[in-house]
Amino acid sequence: MSQRLLPVIIILLFVFAERDLAFAALLTGSVETGNAAGAMRLFLPGVLFITAVQAVVKQKKGEKGQGKVSKQFTSQQQLQKEIAERKRMEEELRAAHQKLLDIIEFLPDATFVIDKDKKVTAWNRAMEEMTGVPKKEIIGKGDYVYSIPLYGKKQSVLIDLIASDDQETKDRYDYVEKRGNTFYAEAFVPYVFERKGAFLLVTASPLFDNEGNVVGAIESIRDITERKLAEEKLQHTVHELRKTQSVVIEREKLAIIGQMAAGMAHEIRNPLTSVRGFAQLLKEKCPDNDTLENYVSIIIDEVNQANSVITNFLQLARPKQPVLKLHSVNELIGEILTIVEPHAFINNIELTFERAKDLPLCMLDRDQIKQVLLNMCRNAIEAMPDGGKIAIASGQFSDEKEIFIDITDTGCGIPKDKMHNIGVPFYSTKDEGTGLGLSISYSIIHAHKGRVEVKSTLGRGTRFRIILPYTWENEKSDKS
Ligand SMILES: Nc1ncnc2c1ncn2[C@@H]1O[C@H](COP(=O)(O)OP(=O)(O)OP(=O)(O)O)[C@@H](O)[C@H]1O
Ligand SMILES: [Mg+2]
C-alpha cells in the first residue's frame, strides 16, 4: 500500500464510521510507524471534522426519528383524551338520567314516561300506588299497555295525543285543553285505586333531545276526587241556596197575593153568592123558557168557576195546615179513581193502578192529598186530548222510609225549557187554566214534608212522582 494512501484510507474508514477498524489499523500497526506521524497529522483534524459531520448527521437522523415518534405519541394522547372525555360525558349523561329518574320516582303525582316507540321507560312510586302495578312489570312494555291499569283495556290515553292529536282520545275526558306543548284533561278513571275509581287531573308533555326532536312523552296524574266532591257539594249547596232563595221570594210574593186575595175574596165572594142565588131563583121562576134557562145555567157555571178560582187563590196564599192522621195511600188512590174513571172513559183514556203490597200507613191530610192526586190526574187527562193511558202506581223506598205515588201519562210532555215553570203559580199553557193546580199541590206536599219529582219527554209523556215520608209516628203497614 502506498504510504500516502494510508492516512486517506484511515480518514475514509472514519468517514464511514468504521472507527474501530481505523483505530485497529492504527493500533495493529498496519500503518507503518514511520508514516504514523504523518498519518496522525492528517488524522486528528480529520477525526475532528468527521466526528463533527457524524454528530450533525446523527443529530439530523435523531431529530427525524424523534419527530415521527412524538407525532405518533401526540395522536395517541389525543385519542386517550377524547375517550376519557367521552366517558366523562357518558357518565354525566347517565348521572343526569338517573337524577331525572330519581326526581320522577319521588314526584308526588303519579307519573310515567314513554319513548318514541310508546314503550314505558319510567313508572314512579305514586303510579305504582295508584294502579297497583309495580314498575318491574311494566318498564319496557309498549302497545298501550299503560292504559290497562287505568281503564281495564288497551286504548290511547292523554299521553298519546303528543304523537297524534285525535278526537276519539279527547272524547274519553270531560275536557281537554292544550297550552303550549302540554295537554291538560280531567276525567273519572274507573280502574285506579283497586277499581274504586277516582277523578283525575292529567297532564301530558313531549320530551325533547338536545336538537329539539321529540323523543318521548311524560304523563302526570293527580287525584282530584276530594276537590271534585267538594266542588259538587258546593254546587249542591249553591243550588239549594238558590232554591231556598226562590222559595223565599215566592213566599213573599204569595204573602202579598194572600193579603190581596183575602181582601178580594171578601169583596167578590159575597156579591158572587148573591148573583148565584138570584140566578138559581130565576131558573126556578121560568121553568118553561129554554133559552132563559140556558143563559141562567151559563151564569151559574161562570160564577162557580170564579168562585173556585178565588178559593184556589186563597188556598195557595194561605195554605191550611194539614190535619194529619194515619191513612192508607192505596185506599186514597182507590177513592180518587172512582172520580177520575168517568172522565178518563169519556176522553178515551185507559186508567190502570198498580198497587204496592204491604205499604206502610202514612200520616196524611186525606182531603189535601186527594186534591193533589185529582189535580195531577186532571192534568194528565188534559195532556191527552186524543186519548192515551194513565198509569198510577204506589211503592216504597224502604231505605229512605218513604212511599211514592206515580202518575204517568202518555200525553204531550213538557218541553225541557219549560220544566222550571212547573209548579210556579199562574204558569199555564191552557186557555182556561189558572196555573194554580200544581202550585197548590206542591205546597200541600211540602207541608207533608214530602216532595214532587217530574220526568217528561216531549211528545211521549210525563211522570209526576209524589214522595211522602212514612216515619211520622209508627210504621204500621197497609195489608189492603
Ligand atoms: N201531565 C202533564 N203533561 C203535560 N203538561 C203538564 C202536565 N201537568 C201539568 N202540565 C203543564 O203545567 C202547567 C201548569 O199546570 P197546573 O195544573 O198548575 O195549571 P193548569 O192545569 O194549566 O191550570 P189549572 O190546574 O188551574 O186548571 C199546565 O198548563 C201544563 O202546561
Ligand atoms: Mg191543572
Phi/psi for 43 (5° steps) reads: -60, -45
435 lines ligand 1 (CB under 6 A): yes
Å from CA of 2 to ligand 2 middle:
161
Confidence at residue 255, expressed as pLDDT on a 0 to 100 scale: 72
- Ligand 2 centroid, distance to 379 Cα (angstroms): 5
d(CA 455, CA 467): 14
pLDDT at 27: 36
Which numeric CATH code is attached to 106-223? 3.30.450.20
User: What does 281-338 look like in DSSP terms, one character per residue?
Assistant: HHHHH-TT-HHHHHHHHHHHHHHHHHHHHHHHHHHHHSPPPP--EEE-HHHHHHHHHH
Kindly list the distances between the CA atom of residue 183 and the CA atoms of 65, 160, 176, 203, 217, in Å, as whole numbers in the listed order.
Answer: 67, 10, 7, 5, 11
CA 437 to ligand 2 centroid distance, Å: 4
Q: Is 3 helix (H, G, I), strand (E, B) or coil?
A: coil
Pocket test for ligand 1, best of 305, 381, 421, 438 (most atoms within 8 A of CB): 438
3-state secondary structure of 416: helix
**Which DSSP letter does residue 472 get?**
S
β partners of residue 325: 364
Is residue 372 within 6 Å of ligand 1 at its C-beta?
no
Comma-separated ranges of CATH 3.30.450.20 domains in the chain: 106-223
List where CATH 3.30.565.10 sits in the chain. 325-478
Ligand 1 proximity of 326 Cβ (cutoff 6 Å) = no
Pocket of ligand 1 contains residue 462 by CB under 6 Å: yes
CB of 371 closer than 6 angstroms to any ligand 1 atom = no
- Centre of ligand 2 to C-alpha 381, Å, is 10
Q: Is the CB of 422 under 6 A from ligand 1?
A: yes
Residues in the chain: 480
Closest Cα partner for 169 from 149, 179, 154? 154
| Residue listed under C-alpha cell 206536599 | 445
Q: Is the CB of 203 under 6 A from ligand 1?
A: no
Question: Could you tell me the distance, in angstroms and rounded to a whole number, from the CA of residue 375 to the centre of ligand 1?
Answer: 9
pLDDT at position 383 is 97
Cα 436 to averaged position of ligand 2 atoms, centre (Å): 7
pLDDT for position 68: 59
Tell which atom from ligand 1 comes closest to the C-alpha of 439.
18
**Helical H segments across 361-422, by residue range:** 366-382
127 grid coordinates: 303510579
Determine contact, residues 327/362, Cβ cutoff 8 Å. yes
Sequence-separated contacts (24+) of 173-179 with Cβ below 8 Å: 173/202
409 lines ligand 1 (CB under 6 A): yes
DSSP string, 157-182: -GGGGGT---HHHHTTSSEEEEETTE
* Helices and strands (H, E) in the chain, number of each type: 13, 15
Q: Closest residue (by CA) to atom 29 of ligand 1?
A: 428
Is residue 438 lining ligand 1, measured as CB closer than 6 Å?
yes
Name residues whose C-beta falls within 8 Å of residue 327's C-beta, 6 or more positions apart in sequence: 361, 362, 363, 364, 366, 369
CATH 3.30.70.1560 fits 325-478, yes or no: no
> CATH 1.10.287 residue ranges in the chain?
230-317
Q: Is the Cβ atom of 440 under 6 angstroms away from ligand 1? A: no
Q: CATH assignment of 230-317?
A: 1.10.287
Buried b (16+ CB within 10 A) or exposed e, 110-125: bbbbbeeebbbbbbbb
Instruction: Give the model's pLDDT for residue 433.
Output: 86
pLDDT tens for the chain, 480 residues long, are 444 555 555 454 444 444 444 444 333 334 443 444 444 444 444 444 455 455 555 555 555 555 555 666 678 888 888 999 999 988 988 888 888 888 899 999 999 999 999 999 999 999 999 999 999 999 999 989 999 999 999 999 999 999 988 999 999 999 999 999 999 999 999 999 999 999 999 999 999 988 899 999 999 999 999 998 898 899 999 988 988 888 788 777 767 776 776 777 778 888 888 899 999 888 888 777 788 888 888 899 889 888 887 887 777 777 788 999 999 999 999 999 999 999 999 999 999 999 999 899 999 999 999 999 999 999 999 999 999 999 999 999 877 789 999 999 999 999 999 999 999 888 999 988 888 899 999 999 999 999 999 999 999 999 999 999 986 554 455 555
Containing 229, the helix (H) or strand (E) segment is helix 225-285
Integer Cα distance of 216 and 114 in angstroms: 5
